[in-house]
Structures are given as structure tokens and as C-alpha cells.
């Protein structure tokens, strides 16, 4: 097979796997982050600060540290690894599912914080009005709070997706660099650099630069737009 064709096929596989990982992680993060962000924005519990710090921890931890402990936890001797083996799921390290778990944990603050800030900025008045009209708390949440916090949800989705696309340390530690299974764009670039294949690395790295610029530009434009339409 032509080496150039092989490189293109390998790069496309990595891009497809990266998009699949980022899309799956973003959907899961929005589901998990919404109730967590609501609780953090509304509660006065003594647990608010510890839980908030735990959610924010991936922002300050080196990705390799987080990846290392996740690798231990998901490994055959780790607590999660032993549980998944007992359930017949096997070991999740060096699998796509393992990558997904690591991506969700690593990108959690990028989903929780924008939604939490959006909930906090709307104040308490809208929900109080809904309650005085005898709306069920769940109905009030989905018909009042969620629409008012739509800018936070949009920001969370974009940041979570982009952050997952750009992951390296966590995915390398948990998934390695297995072609077609755990090799994403960031680890593909790393592999090209290790092999001194700088031309191929340039193409993928340049694509990541363009993608990151587009994401930041989109966020800036969206903030301007929502700033005009929000009361």
C-alpha cells in the first residue's frame, strides 16, 4: 500500500475517533453537569465548597497525574477495574470506554462552570414567580431556569467539545496510542513527532490550531449575541 495513502487513512481514522469521543463526552457532560451546576448555584450546604473544589480539580492537576490515577483505578487491580471485571465488562483501560470516562472527568469543570454561572446570574426572582404560580419544581426548572441559562449551556457544550478534542496527557495515559481504537488526533501528532514525520505532524497540528481559533471566535461572537438578547 502507498505510504502516503496509509498516512491519510490513519489521520482520518484518528479524526473520526476524536470527533466520536468529543461528541459522546459532550452529551454525557451536559447530562451530568446540569443537576450538579444547579445544586452548586442554589445550595447553602457546607458541602458546596468541597464539591466545587473537587469539580474544579482537573483544571489545576497535571493531565498526566489525573490520567495516572484513572489508569490505576480502571486497571485490573483497581477498584473500578475489579468491578467492571466482576460485571463481565473486562478492563476498561486502553479502550474507547476508558477514554470516554477519562474525558468526562477531565472536562467536567468546562461543562459545570458556565452552566453554574448562568444559573447564578439569572437570580432567584424567576423561580420564585414560577413557584407562586404553583409550578412543580421540575417543570419550573425546565421551563424557566434552563431557557434563561441557554447561553451557559451553549458555552459549556462548545468548551467541553473543544477541550476533549485537544486532550493529550489523559488520553495517552488511559488509552495509549492504539490505531483504530484509542489513537486520537493529539496522540497521532505525538506519534508523528516521535517518528520525526514532521510534515504529517504539521498538517494535523495546523488543523488543531485552526479548530481552536474557530472555537474561540465562535465563543466571542456568541457572547456578543447573547449579551444583546438577554435582559
Reference 36, options 136, 109, 125; nearest CA is 109
Q: Inform me whether the pLDDT recorded for 61 exceeds 60.
A: yes
C-alpha neighbours within 13 Å on the C-beta side of residue 231: 6
Mean pLDDT of the chain: 87
Q: Is the dihedral of CA 157, 160, 161, 162 positive or negative?
A: positive
Query: What pLDDT, on a 0 to 100 scale, did the predictor assign at position 108?
Result: 96
**227: pLDDT confidence band, cut at 50, 70 and 90?**
low
**55: pLDDT confidence band, cut at 50, 70 and 90?**
very high
**47: pLDDT confidence band, cut at 50, 70 and 90?**
very high
**82: pLDDT confidence band, cut at 50, 70 and 90?**
very high
The answer to whether 85 touches 74, Cβ cutoff 8 Å, is: no
Q: Inform me whether the pLDDT recorded for 28 exceeds 90.
A: yes
Higher pLDDT, 82 or 12: 82
Mean local confidence (pLDDT), 3-25: 81
Mean local confidence (pLDDT), 184-202: 88
Domain 3-229, CATH = 1.10.3720.10
Domain boundaries, the chain: 3-229
Q: pTM of the entire structure?
A: 0.88
For residue range 117-138, what is the model confidence (pLDDT) as tens digits? Answer: 999 998 888 888 888 888 888 8
The answer to whether 74 touches 174, Cβ cutoff 8 Å, is: yes
Amino acid at each position: 500500500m502507498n505510504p502516503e495513502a496509509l498516512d491519510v487513512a490513519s489521520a482520518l481514522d484518528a479524526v473520526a475517533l476524536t470527533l466520536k469521543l468529543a461528541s459522546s463526552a459532550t452529551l454525557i457532560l451536559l447530562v451530568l453537569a446540569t443537576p450538579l451546576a444547579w445544586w452548586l448555584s442554589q445550595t447553602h450546604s457546607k458541602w458546596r465548597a468541597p464539591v466545587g473544589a473537587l469539580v474544579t480539580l482537573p483544571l489545576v492537576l497535571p493531565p498526566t497525574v489525573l490520567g495516572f490515577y484513572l489508569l490505576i483505578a480502571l486497571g485490573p487491580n483497581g477498584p473500578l477495574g475489579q468491578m467492571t471485571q466482576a460485571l463481565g465488562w473486562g478492563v476498561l483501560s486502553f479502550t474507547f470506554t476508558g477514554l470516554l470516562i477519562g474525558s468526562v472527568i477531565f472536562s467536567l469543570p468546562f461543562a459545570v462552570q458556565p452552566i453554574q454561572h448562568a444559573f447564578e446570574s439569572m437570580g432567584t426572582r424567576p423561580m420564585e414567580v414560577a413557584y407562586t404560580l404553583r409550578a412543580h419544581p421540575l417543570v419550573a426548572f425546565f421551563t424557566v431556569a434552563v431557557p434563561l441559562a441557554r447561553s451557559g449551556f451553549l458555552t459549556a457544550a462548545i468548551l467541553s467539545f473543544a477541550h476533549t478534542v485537544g486532550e493529550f496527557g489523559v488520553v495517552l495515559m488511559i488509552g495509549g496510542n492504539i490505531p483504530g481504537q484509542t489513537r486520537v488526533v493529539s496522540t497521532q501528532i505525538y506519534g508523528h513527532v516521535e517518528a520525526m514525520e514532521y510534515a504529517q505532524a504539521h498538517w494535523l497540528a495546523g488543523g488543531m490550531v485552526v479548530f481552536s481559533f474557530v472555537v474561540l471566535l465562535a465563543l466571542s461572537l456568541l457572547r456578543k449575541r447573547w449579551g444583546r438578547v438577554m435582559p
